[in-house]
A and B are shown apart, each in its own frame.
Chain A
Amino acid sequence: MLLELTGFTDVVMSNEVDVFSGSKHESDAKEFETRGVTVYARRPA
């Protein structure tokens, strides 16, 4: 994962959310299985 390659550690991801469901972008989002997510990571001390 790019975050770890960059130097971040302790990476945690939230549940995914289907943020494009019902939007005009829904078909494109479904085609590529696009989901919203929130990520936590730390810079090493």
Chain B
Amino acid sequence: MRTRWRHDDGHTARRPQEVTTEIGVSRIDRAELRRFISEKYGEVATNPELGFHFHTGRPLALMLGYPAALLDKLPAGNLASFAGTGNPFLFGDLRPGERVVDVGCGTGLDTLIAAQQVGPSGRVIAVDMTAEMRQKTREGVDEMRLSNVEVREGFAETLPVDDGSADVVISNGVVNLCPDKLAVFREMLRVLKPGGRIQIGDILVHKEVPQDSKDDIALWSG
């Protein structure tokens, strides 16, 4: 196995001292954390104009490298509540006919882009635990008249998706919200076909996070 650290400027990237995708130990009750995050992101879905501790919407999407022309074609409601931390499509467009799982689809921005890229012969399963997010995604799917998207309720650690059924798993700003990151990655591996790939946006933390911060539920969702 080999890890490459790609930088467009040709410089060798340093390996992060700590990556949020590594096993983190928090004493926070998992059910309580899910409720807290679901409430927070429910607000993002329904009232994006409120303003949050993180950026949202079109300015964030542009910062992350989504082309303006692409964003112009998406429903305003889905774009306004976008709260990703990366851009799954930086590693290339998805191919027509591919089967995609969007883990923690949020308001569906990436789901809508993926559905267009894989076309009518492809399929996107969008999974989210938050009802408001799923509703927003469904509204976008209806507005764009997409017939190749299925929105499902579920958790990243226990995806409601068959084994070995996906060509690609995408996700954006979700793994960092999950205390059991190993379970999330195992699920992604489980649902992928052999040779399948993940293209996920998330966050890196370069400095050690002290225990009291790991146990501060407010810091988990900003």
A residues lining the B interface (CB < 8 Å): 1-17, 19-20, 22-25, 28, 31-45
Q: Give the number of A-B contacts (CB < 8 Å).
A: 149
User: Which of B49-57, B113-121, B146-154 is the interface stretch?
Assistant: B49-57
Write out the residue numbers on chain A whose beta carbons fall within 8 Å of the beta carbon of B27.
none
Known A12-B6, A25-B222, A37-B202; judge A1-B195 contact (CB<8 A): no
Min CB gap B173→A, angstroms: 8
Q: Take A7-B189, A37-B204, A38-B199 as given contacts and tell me if A15 and B8 are in contact as well, using a CB distance cutoff of 8 Å.
A: yes
Chain B residue nearest in CB terms to A35: B204
Secondary structure dominating the interface of B: mixed
The number of residues on chain B lying at the interface, defined by a beta carbon within 8 Å of a beta carbon of chain A, is 55
A sample of 8 inter-chain contacts (CB < 8 A) reads: A3-B185, A11-B2, A11-B3, A12-B91, A25-B53, A25-B222, A34-B204, A39-B201
Q: Is the CB of A28 within 8 A of B63?
A: no
Interchain nearest-CB distance for B49 vs A (Å): 15
B positions within 8 Å CB-CB of A: 1-8, 13, 19, 21-23, 51-55, 60, 63-65, 85-88, 90-91, 173, 181-182, 185-186, 188-189, 192-207, 209, 213, 219, 222
Let me know if B194 and A2 touch, CB within 8 A.
no
Q: Are A43 and B195 in contact (CB under 8 A)?
A: yes
